[in-house]
C-alpha cells in the first residue's frame, strides 16, 4: 500500500457497497492470502471503464475471478478474455463467473499468458495483474493486438512504495523492485504509449496506445 493507512481506509469506505459475491471473494482472498487487487484501485478502474466503454478486454491474472467480475460489471457490453496459470484458482474463478452470471461474456484461458493468443484476436483494453516480472514481456506480446486508442492498466507498479527507494533492504523484494522500476521506465519511454501513474492502492499505470 503506497498511501497512508487512514487515507486508504477512507477511500475504501467511499466505495459503494459490493454484492454478496464480491464480499465473499474479498473475505476468501484475505483468509487464504490470495492476491487480489485493492478495493480503491478496482473502483478507479471501474470508473475508467464506464467512461471508456471497451468492447474487448484482455485480463492477465484472473486468480479467483474477483477483478474479472468487476470488469464485467463496469463494461456490460464487453467480451472478456482472462488468462490464469493456476489450475485450482481458475476452476474457482469459473464457478464464480457462473454465480455472477457472466459466463456468456467471459472466456477463461487456463495457461501461461506468455504463450500468447491467436494473432487475429483484437482488444481495446488490456489489464495486467499477474507476475510483475513478466509485465514487459506481456506488453511486447500483446501490444500489437491492442487497437490504437486502446488502454492498458497495470497494477502493483509502485510495489509498496519501494520503487521510489534507491536501496531496498528487504532482500526478497529487491529483485522484484528492480524489475518493476525497469518496467516503469519502459512504459514512459515507449514510443507507442502515453502513460500516467496513479498512486492509489499499490499503484496503477494507465496507458493509451498511440498511432504510428
pLDDT in tens, 110-161: 999 999 999 999 999 999 999 999 999 999 999 999 999 999 999 999 988 8
pLDDT at residue 2 is higher than 60: no
How confident is the model at residue 160, as a pLDDT? Answer: 84
Paired with 107 in beta bridges are 81
Question: Model confidence at 4, in pLDDT bands (50, 70, 90)?
Answer: low
Question: Can you tell me whether residue 119 is helix, strand or coil?
Answer: coil
**Residue 113 marked as a ligand binder:** yes
**Residue 198 marked as a ligand binder:** no
Domain 5-209 has CATH 3.40.50.150: yes
pTM of the predicted model over 0.75: yes
**Residue 34 marked as a ligand binder:** no
**Residue 86 marked as a ligand binder:** no
**Residue 129 marked as a ligand binder:** yes
**Residue 2 marked as a ligand binder:** no
> Which grid coordinates belong to 149?
486508442
The proportion of the chain whose per-residue pLDDT surpasses 90, expressed as a percent, equals 81
Domain range annotation of the chain: 5-209
Which of 81, 1, 93, 88 has its CA nearest to residue 38? Answer: 1
Question: Model confidence at 3, in pLDDT bands (50, 70, 90)?
Answer: low
The answer to whether 47 and 206 are in contact (CB under 8 A) is no
The mean per-residue pLDDT over the stretch 38-62 comes to 96
Sheet with 106-110: strands ordered across: 106-110, 79-84, 56-60, 123-128, 146-155, 204-209, 193-198
- Give the Cα-Cα-Cα angle 22, 13, 4 (nearest 5 degrees): 115
Rounded distance between C-alpha atoms, residue 26 and residue 145, angstroms: 32
Using the CB atoms, write b or e for 153-174: b if 16+ within 10 Å: bbbbbbbeebbeeeebeeeeee
How confident is the model at residue 141, as a pLDDT? Answer: 98
User: Residues 6 or more apart from 131 whose CB is under 8 A from it?
Assistant: 61
Amino acid at each position: 500500500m503506497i498511501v497512508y493507512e487512514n487515507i486508504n481506509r477512507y477511500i475504501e469506505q467511499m466505495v459503494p457497497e459490493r454484492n454478496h459475491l464480491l464480499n465473499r471473494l474479498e473475505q476468501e482472498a484475505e483468509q487464504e492470502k490470495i492476491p487480489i487487487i485493492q478495493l480503491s484501485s478496482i473502483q478507479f478502474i471501474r470508473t475508467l471503464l464506464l467512461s471508456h466503454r471497451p468492447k474487448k478486454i484482455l485480463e492477465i491474472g484472473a486468480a479467483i475471478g474477483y477483478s474479472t467480475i468487476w470488469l464485467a460489471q463496469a463494461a456490460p457490453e464487453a467480451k472478456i478474455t482472462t488468462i490464469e496459470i493456476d489450475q485450482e484458482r481458475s476452476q474457482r474463478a469459473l464457478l464464480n463467473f457462473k454465480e455472477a452470471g457472466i459466463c456468456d461474456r467471459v472466456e477463461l484461458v487456463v495457461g501461461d499468458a506468455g504463450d500468447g493468443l491467436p494473432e487475429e484476436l483484437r482488444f481495446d483494453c488490456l489489464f495486467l495483474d499477474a507476475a510483475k516480472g513478466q509485465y514487459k514481456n506481456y506488453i511486447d506480446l500483446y501490444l500489437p493486438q491492442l487497437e490504437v486508442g486502446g488502454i492498458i492498466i497495470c497494477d502493483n507498479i509502485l510495489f509498496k512504495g519501494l520503487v521510489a527507494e534507491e536501496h531496498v533492504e528487504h532482500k526478497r523484494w529487491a529483485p522484484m523492485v528492480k524489475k518493476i522500476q525497469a518496467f516503469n521506465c519502459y512504459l514512459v519511454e515507449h514510443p507507442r504509449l502515453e502513460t500516467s501513474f496513479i498512486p492509489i492502492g499499490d499503484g496503477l499505470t494507465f496507458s493509451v496506445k498511440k498511432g504510428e
